[in-house]
Structures are given as C-alpha cells and as structure tokens.
Chains A and B, each alone.
Chain A
C-alpha cells in the first residue's frame, strides 16, 4: 500500500488517539471523554504501534514516521506510568510499610548502630576519664559553647546563654533543617561506596560520645542527660536508620552479587528509600520533642520517665508494627 492510502485509511484513528491523550493530560474533572472512551486507550495505542512499525518497515516519509513516533511516545507514557500519590498510602507507609522495610534490612541497621555507638562509647569513656581529651575532638570555643548550653545555671537547657531568648519555634526550625539534612546526607554518602555514610556515622558517634563523656565528667549530668534522653530515642534511631540506608547503597556498589553494579544500585536505592523517608519522619518527631519538651524546665525524674516511654514506643513500633498480615500488604 502506498503512503497516501495508508494515511487516509488510518488518519481518523490517529486523531481519535491524539484527542484521547490530550484529554488525559487534563485534570480529572476537566476531561471531556467518558471513562469507557478513555478505556479504549490501550487498544488504540496497540494499533498505533502496529501502524508505526509498518510505516517504518515500508520506509514511508520521515515526517509521517516522526508524527507517529510522537504519538507512540505520548501513548507509552500515559499507559506505562504508574503514579498515584495518595494520602492513604502515606498512612499505610507509616503504619506498617516503614517498620517492615527496616526489619527486612535489619542487618544494615545493626552495622550502622555499631558504627555510631562503639566509637561513641569508646571516646565517651576516654573523655570521662581524661577531661582535657575533649579538646582533641573540638576546639576551645566549641567546648565553651557546649558547656554553657548545659550549665545548670542555664534557664533553658540545650540552648546557649546568649541565645536564651530564642523561641522554641525557632529552635524547632533549626532542628528540622539541621537534623533531617544530616540524615539525608548520611544516605547520600552511601554513593561513595558506603564510605561517606560510615564516616558520617563515626564522626557523629565520636562527637556525641565526647560531649556526653565530658559533660558527665564536669558534673553537668543533671541537665545534659534529661535533655537528650527524650528526643534521643527518635533522633539516634533515625540517624542509624539513615546510616543503614546508605550502607545498603554502598553494599550494592561494592558487592553487587549476581547483578551488574548499576542494576544492583537501582534495586537497592529503591529499597533504601522507605528507610530514609521513615527516618525523616522520625527526625521530624525528634525535632518537635527537642524544641518543646526537652528544653522545658520539668524535673529530671519526669523527663527520664517520659524518655523511657519514648524508647519503649520506638522499639515497639519498629519491632512489631505490621507483623500481622494486612489486606494490602
């Protein structure tokens, strides 16, 4: 069949598909076609694919080929894109998707936890035994600033004296941008064969350990520990989870197993994303607690009690949520 006859025979068909695709690009309530008409898309698209293949094999004119290719591309996109961002999916994710994803990769979690806590404990106990050791971790100004934050004379623990006037809301903003940013970078560090993640975990562990050891040594334990114990349940766990997600990427790059490195990376990145998103959600809670609860002038015993509850809550949530089968699981 000659090109002109071919075009005349199928022109209406292509036009119908084009109108359908135009309509699908519009917002749902502005569409002019009925659901039944829209449902004919796959059939029309398959026929178009057939026409395109014929046009190519018969060496019809390049302009016709291009016109059909554009239509095929649009149809392909409409047919094979599967995105639906619904609020309900977010609720499901928090209710059981995230804890399940974490338990699937629990080995990475323990490794990340070891990378954070072991150096922390080690450096922390050294700083407790040797008060001047803190200066090899941070410089004098940082030490002075950190000491003044947890000085028992400070009205608001966890805030520096000159920044005492800062509102809780301002600190909330600071904790969100700072902590979640650290979480995301810990994940991204996995792209450097896991090295970036491991270094960030080690570094954070050393700094947190050193501060804790030093402050306990100089007798500020009654302001420091009640302050950090509450939000630490969410914050430290979330940083470890971000570390686990980064290690997942690093593992894919170092030892991809039966897949190519690129395929392994794509697969693992998809598996790691729920961990990062869940950890960001936990860091959000941690920022809230840190800004509005940890700094409040409540007695230390009550803070310890609440902190205990927080830790139990986090453990139960991550350990048990979503164990039972759900319909859509």
Chain B
C-alpha cells in the first residue's frame, strides 16, 4: 500500500502501526534544532570570551559536546530533540520501543557519514531509497523517526433508540456505519446528510431523517436490542 504507516508485530501477536516521518518534516525539525544550537553557541561564546584563553578552551569543549551529543541528550531524555518535538516527531527503535542510549549514540555519531558531501546529501539519498525513510545512521542503529501519537479524544456515539437494520451487513459495512456514527458530531449538517443519503435505497429516507435512521442502525450494531 502506498502510505507511510508500518506495522510491527509484538510478541503478543499484536500489530502495532507506526507512522514514519519523511524527509521534509525531518529537515524542518533539523533546521529548528540548528537555530537552537546556534543560539546556544552564541549564549556560551559571548560570556566565555571575557575569560581569555581559559574561556576559549572551555567554550571549545562545550561546542564539541553540543555538536556531537545535543541530539543524544534530548533523545534519551524525551525521545526527540526540541526541533523534532516541535514538529511532532520522535525517535524509536524499529520494534516500537523508545530509543536506547546505544542506538542514539550510533545514529548520531554516523551523522558525519550522512552529512557527506554536503548538507546531508547522503542521508537524503538513503532516506529516499529506504522503505522506512531511514538515513544511514538510522539503518545502522535500527531506529525510525515517527510521528508522535497525540492522545486522541474519543467522541462517544449519541445514544439514540436502536433500530434493527433492514438487511444483513458485512463486517466492513458494519464498521463503516459505526465510524459514521462516531464521526457524525464532527461533520457539518450538510455533509452528514450527503453521506447518509448514500444509503437512501436502504433506509428509504432523505435529509435529516436519513441521518437519524443510520445513527439508529449504528446504535443497534453497538448495543443490540437495547438495555
């Protein structure tokens, strides 16, 4: 299927689905991180420059640490650098667990290879060729950059008196009806009617009554004859 969601089967036999982040959103995250790092460099270099050789030595060490370990620090702390977090991304193992320190070190030390020959050209090619948008560091470390799932708000179905549907639905059809009932409060009235009238042949109604008829079917599917 042509989409960016991948599934991983857990030891319990459950298929977890992970949504992989592509090169564009990752570049944006990188640019944000770059700005933050530039800010950090300035914030450190200016005060230390008044300390002469000693200050210069310390700022060189700090620059080195930021250059190589800024992503490692944040990935271990919160699963993503501030830039990735701002873009709603996080780094995980290809088995869906949070990134470990060894995987984080590998993927970030190998940045040096991804950067070649300029501005992550190798990394970009690797991302475009690999199925999971992985740059070389990700391939070696076995990590993925995925969209962080926001805790979704579940809309309860309206409780309407159940009505038995006139004919037998397949499982997929039942699920579609349930999905319609759950999404109904999010849709505009016109769109609700438009969708509900697809089944006019079945329900024999048009307009607002068609919607309430389908909601009643869905209610029957979810709870049966009623309490």
Residues of A within 8 A of B (CB): 2-5, 45-46, 49, 52-53, 58-64, 66-67, 69-70, 72-73, 76-77, 80-83, 85, 165-167, 169-174, 176-177, 180-181, 184-185, 187-192, 196, 249, 262, 265-266, 269-270, 273, 276-277
Which 6 A-B pairs have CB atoms at the shortest separation, nearest pair first? A173-B60, A173-B57, A167-B53, A177-B64, A188-B112, A61-B178
Bound: A72/B18 CA distance, A:
12
B100 on the A face (CB < 8 A) = yes
B76 on the A face (CB < 8 A) = yes
Bound: A67/B156 CA distance, A:
12
Bound: A249/B157 CA distance, A:
55
Chain B residues whose C-beta falls within 8 Å of the C-beta of A83 in the assembled complex? 76, 98, 100-101
Flag if A3 contacts B178 (CB, 8 Å).
Answer: yes
Flag if A174 contacts B60 (CB, 8 Å).
Answer: yes
Would you list 24 pairs from A and B whose C-beta atoms are within 8 A, ordered by A residue? A5-B224, A49-B12, A52-B14, A59-B175, A62-B178, A64-B154, A73-B16, A77-B98, A80-B95, A80-B96, A85-B76, A167-B54, A173-B61, A174-B60, A177-B63, A177-B64, A181-B67, A187-B112, A190-B113, A191-B113, A266-B142, A269-B110, A276-B109, A277-B105
Size range of the chain B interface in the assembly: 35 or more
Chain A residues whose C-beta falls within 8 Å of the C-beta of B201 in the assembled complex? none
Flag if A176 contacts B60 (CB, 8 Å).
Answer: yes
Flag if A191 contacts B60 (CB, 8 Å).
Answer: no
Chain A binding site: helix, strand, loop or mixed by DSSP?
Answer: helix
User: Which one of A49, A170, A265 has the greatest number of beta carbons of chain B within 10 Å?
Assistant: A170
Chain A residues whose C-beta falls within 8 Å of the C-beta of B63 in the assembled complex? 177
Flag if A177 contacts B61 (CB, 8 Å).
Answer: yes
Flag if B140 contacts A81 (CB, 8 Å).
Answer: no
Flag if A70 contacts B149 (CB, 8 Å).
Answer: yes
Nearest residue (CB) in A for B174 is A59
Bound: A293/B151 CA distance, A:
57
B167 on the A face (CB < 8 A) = no
Task: Mark contacts of B2-45 with chain A using CB atoms, 8 A cut-off: 1 yes-contact digit, 0 otherwise.
Answer: 00000000101110110000000000000000000000000000
List CB contacts (< 8 Å) of B55-90 with chain A.
56-61, 63-64, 67-68, 76
User: Which one of A166, A177, A192 has the greatest number of beta carbons of chain B within 10 Å?
Assistant: A177
List CB contacts (< 8 Å) of B188-206 with chain A.
none
Instruction: Pick from B56, B60, B112, B151: contact of A184, CB below 8 A.
Output: B112
Instruction: Pick from B10, B95, B106: contact of A49, CB below 8 A.
Output: B10
